[in-house]
Structure 1
């Protein structure tokens, strides 16, 4: 793995060791040096590739990661690498591509379960497609096995009365993260979007909230990127109750700042951690669970609040394209697929056809 440090001169340096050799790249900013590091890794992967006949699964995956890294968001790259290192490499990493038989690959997939099996299959399939393009494979080994059968479990949500009770609690609670839960339920924001939300993104006079970034903790570092999709950059109207939540939140943040004293790290975040730093996923999860319990609502994950927001809007008759824009989905078809159970139970379709046929 590479290391990055700031030199006394002010320049950033990234160091990488490969086969006993040390490589360094420099940049004026950490972002610049990370871009140069990604390019260096890509070149090294190409230059050091072994003869085609002896290429292993790990060597192909590493070349693929190095090539695709600059196209992916940091969290995507980190998650893919983690998955390969913890699931694929221990079992198949040293296997030469020429010896990767369908039986061996099938037994590997069968040893996994649930979402891990599904994600591993999709990762290796994509990697092998590139391997064919590069001439390492004649056909995709994943096309010769039975794909893992996985269906995401349905998300169970409380009824509308329970969600209304949860929202009322958020409006009145002094919990510093009640506003996070309430605003997530009201606007359907992703966790990365709401934890990276700053006061500069909000106009309390007009009730408009601009989603312009997403943030995640990656290997102990807070990393901010563009929203998940191009449509993710959007403006949302939070309404009177949203303004009420945010005004209350501003007062609660001021209290947190006083309590933290000199330890406070100012980032301008709407929902900061105890010392002003961005919230971790575990702290968000704990806050959602705590507030659900306090309001008498069954425990929910943060992403369930997003699903609840979209479901309530669709069941209330809000047009699908408007809900899709609010959620920041890349296209309406995603919204239709995920929330098909909310769009219609078929009754309105049948009744409309009956009216036409009956004249």
Structure 2
């Protein structure tokens, strides 16, 4: 295998390739920022000086061992999930090198790491709320019940960004998608919104980016309450523009600051956390409103495929694995349906839809005086 060489004929290092790959990456700003962090903190210090064409599985494996050891030594054990994300970044960069014919195989794909279990969302049941209030202990990922979601929306109904949180809580938008929504993406008469991009903060400024994945570009239906919230928001925004005067900037975004500039996704999170404190609601992250929208839709009987499309997931397996075990009533309904199906099947003749008849002996017993007395 010939080594990749740069313009000067010098063999290119892993660090130089990672820099090239990152600069040309077409992903969303938040995704690229995550890759950049992995490269800066882990990949460049550990592998940066090695030659790309000579990188081996052993060297990649030794890198992860060294990272884990250094964190342990510093008293900050690194999570398996973090190591797996770092490997995903390296694997993606080396896959690009394979596609360009620069290396034959991807060493990162063969490295072995501990499995990183995905955190499962749990519901803020009454017992869990009581435990949190008493001890301060809270789940890593939690969602509100329908009643808690309704209480939150009712409590903030007068806030100028109410429609943003309504949209996230009921239709499952990511915060960057809500911040990046423009008025020409929204058809209030037809009750639809096109999710065609997102806003992310990158290098200190807001940047309009493509959706997180190809499947994230989607059309979502807007229920009548969301349409009403957006109509009221549009009226409020027009009034704010008139009051602000000539310096108001009509940016075209649905959710803006008072001067018309698009709202920062980080501000949506900051305001949301302030609201939770003000109204003493069980703590969730803003992104958990998206989780909640999915689980509440499933609880309402919406088909899994429809929920997948609403969220913009690439795979129905991801949707099912993430959400179908969250709400107790979903599992309860499934359990009752299963039991009813089994019990009903017990009275059917095999291979038919006809029900079994009680045996003659049972009929005679029921018809006898003793049987009638027992029945009475």
TM-score range, shorter chain: 0.7 to 0.9
1:61 to 18, 24, 38: 18
Matched, 1:162 2:119: no
Q: 2:85, 2:272 → 1: CA distance?
A: 27
Of stretches 308-317 and 74-83 in structure 1, the one that deviates more from structure 2 is: 74-83
Residue in 2 that maps onto 1:287: 271
Greater percentage in strand: 1
| Aligned counterpart, 2:43 | 88
CA 1:49–1:332 in structure 2 vs 1: closer, same or farther (change >3 Å)?
farther
**Offset at residue 325 of structure 1 (A):** 1.7
Which of structures 1 and 2 has the larger relative contact order (alpha carbons within 8 angstroms, sep 6+)?
2
Unaligned segments of structure 1, at least 5 residues: 1-44
Which runs of structure 2 are paired with 1:1-359 in the superposition (5 Å)?
Answer: 47-48=6-7, 55-65=12-22, 69-70=25-26, 72-96=27-51, 98=54, 101-102=58-59, 104-110=62-68, 111=70, 113-114=78-79, 115-131=81-97, 140-142=106-108, 145-154=111-120, 155-170=141-156, 172-173=157-158, 175-342=159-326, 344=331, 347=335, 348-349=337-338, 351-356=340-345, 359=348
Q: Give 1:148 shift.
A: 4.2
What is the deviation of 1:214? 2.0
The offset of 1:297, in angstroms, is 1.8
Distance in 1 separating the partners of 2:210 and 2:101? 34
Q: Over residues 159-202 of structure 1, what are the superposed CA-to-partner deviations in whole Å (9 max), with x where a residue is unaligned?
A: 222111112234x31x2112211121121112122111122222
What do residues 220-252 of structure 1 show as CA deviations (whole Å, max 9, x unaligned)? Answer: 333324433444333333222112211221233
Q: Secondary structure at the match of 2:301?
A: coil
CA contact (8 A) 1:197 1:213 kept: yes
For residues 257 and 294 of structure 1, what CA distance do their matches in structure 2 show? 28
CA contact (8 A) 2:176 2:200 kept: yes
SS where residue 189 of structure 1 aligns?
coil
Q: Deviations over 1:95-147 (max 9, x none)?
A: 44647644632323424623432211112233344556667667544456431
Query: What displacement does 1:305 show?
Result: 0.9
Judging changes above 3 Å, is the alpha-carbon distance between structure 1 residues 272 and 46 closer, same or farther for their aligned structure 2 residues? farther
Distance 1:164 1:126 in 2: 41
Q: Bigger shift: 320-329 or 100-109?
A: 100-109
User: Structure 2 length normalisation: TM-score?
Assistant: 0.71
Structure 1 residues 136, 269: CA separation in 2 closer, same or farther (over 3 Å shift)? closer
Supply the distance in 2 between the matched residues of 1:143 and 1:213 (Cα, whole angstroms). Answer: 31
1:58 positional shift: 0.8
Quick check: 313-322 or 274-283, which moved more?
Answer: 274-283
Q: SS of the counterpart of 1:329?
A: coil
Please give the alpha-carbon distance, in whole angstroms, between the structure 2 residues aligned to 1:208 and 1:314: 20
Corresponding residue pairs, total: 309
Q: 1:304-344 CA distances to partner (integer Å, 9 max, x unpaired)?
A: 11111110010111111111122222232221122131464
The CA deviation string for residues 48-102 of structure 1, in whole angstroms up to 9 with x for no partner, is 3865xx6533133234435x525x3454334323321233213332244647644
Q: Is the 8 A contact 1:209 1:235 kept in 2?
A: yes
